[in-house]
Structure 1
Amino acid sequence: AEMEGTTACRINELPDSVLLHILCFLPIKVAVKTSVLSKRWRYLCTAIPSLEFDHKDFPLSMEEAVRQQLNRLDSPIKGADLFTVLNQFLLSHDGRLDSFNLSLTLKNDSERRLLGRWIHHVIATKKVTEVYLKTFLSDNPNNCYKLLLTPFSCRSILQLRLSRCYFDSQEGNEVVLSHLRSLSLRDILTNEGLLSRMLSACPQLEDLSLDLFSSNTNDMQIVIPKLMNLRIVYSEFSNLKLIAPSLQFLEFDCRSRFTDKACVSKLEGDLVRLKSLKACTCFFE
C-alpha cells in the first residue's frame, strides 16, 4: 500500500504535458475515466492533443444510447453513441490538437453534415496537423464520402489519410493544402480529373499512397514535382504516366486483392533519381 501511494504521488508530480502524452496512448473510454481521480485530473482529458475515435468502440445507435441514459442502465460514456461522445469532446476540448483519427459509419445526410462541421472545426479552429478519416455510407455503400474543405483553411495539415472518402478542388472553390507532406487515399473510385485536382492542391507533397484505388479511365497521369515516395498497391490502372523528377522510392503492384486477375499496366516516366523499385504486373516504357 505504501509503494502504491508513493507511485501515485510521483505520477501527480509529473507536468500536465507528460500526463497528456500518456493519455494519448489510452483508449478514449479509459482516458475519460481518469477525470474522477482528483480535481487536477477532472478536465485533463479535455486537453488530449491526439484524439482517436472508432465506431466499433461505440456500438450503440443514438436512439439506444438516449434510451439507456434515460433509464440509467449504464454510465454516460458506455451508454453513448459515437456521435454524441465526439460532439461533446470537440465542444469541450481545450488546447492544441495535433492528430484527429476518426472511423465511423454514416447513415444519413444529417450525420454527413455533422461530420463536415467536425472536420471544419479541427482544421480551421484547432489547426490540426494530422487527419485520418475512414468512412462508410450505410445508406449508399457504393459511394464515397465527399470531404468539404474550405479554401485557405487547410494550411496546418501535414499528413492526410482518407479511406472511402475524398476531397475536391474546383475552380472558384480551390482547396490549398500548402504544407501537406503525406497523402494516403484508400478504396476510392475516381477519374483522371478528380485525382489531378486533388494532387494539384498539394504542391509540397513528398509521400503519396494509393491503395485499392481504381479509375474509370484507361490513362492516368501523376504530376508532383517534389514527390519522393510513391506507393500504388492493389490498384487498377491501364496506363500510368509519372512526372515526378524527385522520386526516390517506388512500389507499384496492380494485382487485384479480391481475385487472381493481374491488371497488366504500363508505367511511363523519367525516374532518374530512383533508388528503390518494387514492381509487379507492369512494364516500363
Structure 2
Amino acid sequence: MQGDIDVYDCLGKSLLDTILSLLPFHEAVKTSILSKTWQHAWTSIPYLDIDPFVTLPPERMEEEEKKATAAEESDQHWAPLEGGDEWIMIVDKILASHPGVIQRCRISTWYSKSSSNVDRWIKDLMKRFIAELVIESGGLGFSYKVPQTLFQYKSLKKLELHGCAVNLPSYICLKDKNLRMLQLYNTDISVDTIQRFLSECGLLESLTLHGWYNVDVPFLNISAPHLRDLDINLCSCRKLKQVCINAPNLKNVKIDNYDGVKVEIHAPLLETIKCSAANIPVECSEDDGGSWV
C-alpha cells in the first residue's frame, strides 16, 4: 500500500483475468476481499466448478468430514451440509452473482437432494451459451437423468457425463448442433441413442465410451464421417459379439476388450491403435493404412 493507492487496484483487467483463470474456483472467489476492484472480479471468470469439495473452503469440508466421522462412530444419522439445503443455496447464490458468459462448467450432484435443482442449474447455464459441460452424478441415490432440453442448444461443443442416464426422444434433432466431443462414463444409454449421436452429429470428432452397461445387441456399428479419436471400453458389454467401425477420418483408437469382442475397423487415415488386452481379434480392411501399437 502506498498512500491511498492499493497495489491490487494497479493491476490491469487483462492481468487480473489471467490471475483468476489460474486459480481454483473457490480461491478465485476469495479474492473478492482484497480490494474494491477485486470484489466482483471473480464474476467474470468464464468457468464454474459446482462441487462442494472444490467450491467450499477446505476448512468447511474438513468440518463436514469430522461430523461424518463422529456420526459413524456413534452410529447416528448425518445430514451433510444440513441435508443439502445449504449447498443448494450456495450454488444459487454463485449463479446469481455471475451474470456473464460461462464457457465451461463441471457439476457434481453430490448433496443435491433432487435432480430438479441440477436441472435448474443446467437450464441457467445453457442460457449463457456454455460450450463445455461436465456432469458427475452422485449423492442422489440414482443415475441423474440428463434433461432432454440440453440437446436442443447449439452452443454445446463438449459433453462429459459420469453415472448419468441419457434418453434422446426422436423429436429432438441433432443435425444442426455443434457437439464435437462426447465422453460417457458409466452412463445408462442405449445403442440406438449412441448411433443417433454418431449419425446426426456431423461435427463429432471425439467419442469416449467407458462403463457402458446397457448393451443388449450382439452387433454395434460405429459410423461417423468426422470422428478422429475413439476410446471405447467393451469389457462390460456381455451380449456384444462384434463391433464394426467405419470412420474415414479416424486417426486414433483405444480399445479395452478383455471379453474378446471382434472389432473390424475401416479407417484409411488411421495412425495409431492401442489395445489393453492380448489376443484381441481386430481386423483392418486391406485399403486401410495406419500403424498398430
Coarse TM-score class (shorter-chain normalised): 0.7 to 0.9
SS in 2 for 1:197: helix
2:122 to 119, 123, 126: 119
Which of 85, 110, 115 is the equivalent residue of 1:105? 110
Unaligned runs of 5+ in 1: 67-79, 255-261
Q: Using the TM superposition, give the Cα deviation of residue 27 of structure 1 relative to its aligned residue in structure 2, in angstroms.
A: 2.8
> Aligned pair 1:251/2:258, yes or no?
no
> What does 1:79-158 correspond to in 2, within 5 Å?
80-81=86-87, 83-105=88-110, 108=113, 111-123=114-126, 125-140=127-142, 144-150=143-149, 153-158=152-157
Distance 2:35 2:84 in 1: 27
Residue type at the aligned position of 1:26: L
The residue number in structure 1 matching 2:21 is 24
In structure 1, distance between residues paired with 2:176 and 2:159: 10
Q: How do residues 171-210 of structure 1 correspond to structure 2 at under 5 angstroms? A: 171-175=170-174, 178-210=177-209
In 1, the alpha carbon distance for the partners of 2:226 and 2:205 equals 6
Following TM superposition, by how much is the alpha carbon of 1:242 offset from its aligned partner in structure 2, in angstroms?
1.1
RMSD (CA atoms): 2.7
1:207-264 Cα shifts (integer Å, max 9, x gaps): 111122232333222221100111113643432111211111111112xxxxxxx311
Q: Distance in 2 between matches of 1:163 and 1:151?
A: 16
2:169 matched to which residue of 1? 170
Residues in 1 aligned to 2:151 and 2:116: alpha-carbon distance in whole angstroms: 20
More strand by share: 1
Q: Is the 8 A contact 1:189 1:216 kept in 2?
A: no
**Is 1:284 aligned to residue 279 of structure 2?**
no
Q: Does 1:44 align with 2:41?
A: yes
Amino acid at match of 1:278: K
| Superposed counterparts of 1:51-62, under 5 Å | 51-57=48-54, 58=56, 59=61, 61-62=80-81
Describe the shift of the 1:211–1:268 C-alpha distance in structure 2 as closer, same or farther (beyond 3 A).
same
Report how far residue 152 of structure 1 moved.
7.0
Deviation of 1:151 (Å): 7.2
Q: What amino acid does structure 1 have at the position aligned with 2:207?
A: L
Corresponding position of 1:34: 31
Q: Could you tell me the TM-score, scaled by structure 2's length?
A: 0.76
Q: Specify the SS of the correspondent of 1:171.
A: coil
The SS at the match of 1:190 is coil
Cα displacement (A) at 1:16: 2.4
Q: What is the rounded CA distance, in whole Å, between the counterparts of 2:227 and 2:32 in structure 1? A: 44
- Partners in 2 of 1:278 and 1:171 — Cα distance? 35
Cα deviations by residue, 1:155-178 (Å, 9 ceiling, x for unpaired): 112211111124333222335572
Partner of 2:243: 240
**Equivalent position of 1:220 in the other structure:** 220
Unaligned 5+ segments in structure 2 are 65-79, 284-293
CA distance in 1, matches of 2:111, 2:152: 24
Q: Which amino acid aligns with 1:147?
A: V
- Corresponding pairs, count: 254
2:245 touches 2:266 (CA, 8 Å); kept in 1? yes
Maintained 8 Å contact 2:81/2:111: no
Q: Percent same amino acid at aligned positions?
A: 26
Distance 1:155 1:17, change over 3 A: farther
Give the residue type in structure 2 aligned to 1:135: S
When normalised by structure 1's length, the TM-score is 0.78
Asked whether the 8 Å contact 2:248–2:269 carries over to 1, the reply is yes
